[in-house]
């Protein structure tokens, strides 16, 4: 064993607050900067109303990040769908992969997500591809 800290992975969903205008580029810029500094990788999808996000990294960093997300007034109803320790990152080369379907047709987004998560845990893959169908 290498002594490396275990990798925690969470999956959550949230809804955009009704009074908020979503600036996805700004959200992604901050998320990528913070995630890089905290050794977090993941995937973010947005269907115009809801965010579905996977975050993975050191437990303390995941806890701090999710707490910051819970306090963020831009969205509400954050529901933690899954949390587990994983043997290796499933999104290790993604500072924060992102899909919203705004620039692609829905079937192209769905196919891209399916390809990207093909090797993910089957339960996680099912959640992500089901959400991708809504984009």
| Topology of the domain comprising 7-100 | Alpha-Beta Plaits (3.30.70)
Residue showing tokens 């809504």: 134
Residue 95 is predicted with a pLDDT of 54
pLDDT at site 1: 42
Please report the pLDDT score of residue 65 as a whole number.
Answer: 93
pLDDT at 45 (0 to 100): 83
82-117 pLDDT per residue, tens: 999 999 888 876 655 555 555 555 566 677 778 778
Q: Which helix (H) or strand (E) holds 78?
A: strand 75-86
| pLDDT over 70 at 125, yes or no | yes
Q: What is the pLDDT of residue 63?
A: 96
- Environment class of residue 77 by beta-carbon count within 10 Å: exposed (0-12), middle (13-18) or buried (19+)? exposed
Alpha carbon distance 10, 112 (integer Å): 21
């Amino acid at each position: 064993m290498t002594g490396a800290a275990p990798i925690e992975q969470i999956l959550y969903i949230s809804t955009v607050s009704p009074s908020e205008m979503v600036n996805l580029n700004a959200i992604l810029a901050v998320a990528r900067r913070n995630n890089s500094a905290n050794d977090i990788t993941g995937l973010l999808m947005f269907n115009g109303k809801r965010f579905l996000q996977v975050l993975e990294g050191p437990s303390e960093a995941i806890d701090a990040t999710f707490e910051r997300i819970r306090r963020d007034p831009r969205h509400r109803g954050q529901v933690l769908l899954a949390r587990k320790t994983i043997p290796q990152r499933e999104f290790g080369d993604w500072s924060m992969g992102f899909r919203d379907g705004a620039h692609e047709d829905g079937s192209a987004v769905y196919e891209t997500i399916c390809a990207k998560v093909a090797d993910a845990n089957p339960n996680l893959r099912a959640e992500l591809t089901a959400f991708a169908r809504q984009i």
